[in-house]
Structure 1
Amino acid sequence: MRRTDSLQLRLFGMFVLAIALAHLLAFIWFHSFAAPPAPPPPPSASWLADHPPPPPVGSPGPPPSRFAGPLVPLVLQLLALIVAAWLGSRLLTRPIHQLSSAAERLSQDLDSPPLSEQGPQEVRQAALSFNRMQQRIREQVSQRGRILTALSHDLRTPLSRIKLRLEQIDDSALRSKLAADLNEMAGMLDATLTYLSEQSSHEPVQRLDLLALVESLAENAREQGQPVEIFGHCEPLPTRPLALRACLNNLLGNALRYAGHARIELVEGPHEVTLRVVDHGPGIPAEQREAVFEPFFRLEGSRNRNSGGIGLGLSIAREASQRLGAELRLEGTPGGGLTAVLRLPRPSV
């Protein structure tokens, strides 16, 4: 029966077998190397008179075996128990390692293969619960995607109607203010939907020319009159192109928004590629450089798009970097400004 195939019973059987084996080894040792039984009591004087002792043998008796003594069976028992303890610890930790690896894969890709539902009863139950959790997460993400699509459509329609009705307002100043408010609402909607869609997007790993991607983003910025310089180079690497583009696009946009210019530096390493987006703008205080990655967090305490967006650019960049398995942090630029440092791992081939 499968109910009897549990981890507890396996460990119990393993240690019972180890104890039995240890006793069997001790029994074999005592049977083979133990000291002979004690000699019989000495005969009486009358018996010796009638039976004189044999002449002494010239050669001494055999020396005692080096395996004699109580230490040998104790060592054999200890070795048997150590082997059983090692096998038992392996049996206990293997499903934990498998579950940890599956959780790590799930954090990076919801479409990762499910756990194998085999092994002892406790392991099968844990794998079954994990696979059910993964399925529920997939369903929730899929449902959220459908809600986002419907929300985007349903909100854009009334906003478009309001924009058309603005043209009927005679007061040009009021019409301009209302149009600016509507544009801000549309921008907030677009940024929020982009942030939520980035969280639920999944893509396979592909080989990408990072230098070509950086040059493309820099060329787009130059066409809009925003100078961007590029230094360094790197070889193509396996990564998720859409997530990397979203991360770099938001880092570069943040630098251009506040400083009006940016410099991108590429440093090739043996195990990673370091990319820096450097600007000489107002910068961010050291104690708030981690808080700015929170959604809708803005240093100036307002949500006026004229003063720097709605506070989702760096959140999208951090979200994308996590899907890339990269490290993203902010540093101060020497001489003033802000430097975003992105460390991309280069998987070994």
Structure 2
Amino acid sequence: MGALLRSKFLKLYMMVMLVIAYATGVGAALAADHASILMYHRFGETKYPTTNIRLEQFDAHLERLQSGDFTVWPLPRIVEYLQSGQPLPDRTVAITIDDAYLSVYQEAWPRLKALNMPFTLFVATQPIDANRYGYMTWDQIRELQSAGVTIGSQTRTHPHMHQISIERSKSEIAESNARFIAELGLRPDLFAYPYGEYDMQVIQAVMDAGFIAAFGQNSGIAHGYNGFYELPRFAMNEQYGTLSRLDLAINGLPLKVDQITPEDVILDQNPPIYGFTLAPDMDKPKQLRCFNSIYGKLDVTIMGRRAEIRLPGPLNGKRARVNCTMPGEDGRWRWFGRQFLNR
């Protein structure tokens, strides 16, 4: 009971301090309506550079997050605050790890535990059930869960969900939920799309299954202005795990948009006729810039708060991204990324 009372007191104290900050005119520096979410997979497994972060890189990340400018919160708490409209500390960060590889248990968790840094582990249940080489065991996952690590779902077999039938997608979710209940005594509230891939039907299936939020692998700052089932995360690996990119992610500001067209990320027309409407508090629409890795800077037309982005040619490959930025206050950048999928 004492710990519970202390927790309630600390939460009340933080809220009071935020109210005082707003009243004294410094609330913008102390409170925020967004958070940066980092995504990792493997740790020190240099055979897999696209999903691995080198240990010296990860150590540097943790040192930066400890610098005092950042607040690392559990992902469920961030979602709760965003959904309820409660202000978060500025530069709030969440750490997420996908796939439950063994190096999470051997390398990442000891470091995070020593620093008392919370994180969320997204698990696909079939590799764990099969005792697949290089993955954690249920005993190890239970050990993390008992220590306060949040367990999220990533289906049963980790499929490309937009390429399978919606009936199979629903079965993937239901069967994995049954395994979570059997092994952990709970079913997760948070969902991560395998490979960051989904379509509108998959989103609906995730919502119908009772998940309160779902996460992709497109870069951007999480805020929930346009919903909580396509929340972005910054992927960190050997190539994209430099300190400069980490700084860009954890110092970022949200670029809030809605009325996105096309609504679905599956490309029925390629190149897409892409556009969105900026939120009223996005005060520099004329400075919006959008980029693609193949075509570089893209043509952007601004009409009031509406932005129309045109690509000079098709988006090639299975996955392609368009990232849009806008300058914010204090030299920080607003960021919105969208991933498109070719069937």
TM-score by length of 2: 0.22
CA radius of gyration, larger in: 1
Structure with the higher fraction of residues in helix conformation: 1
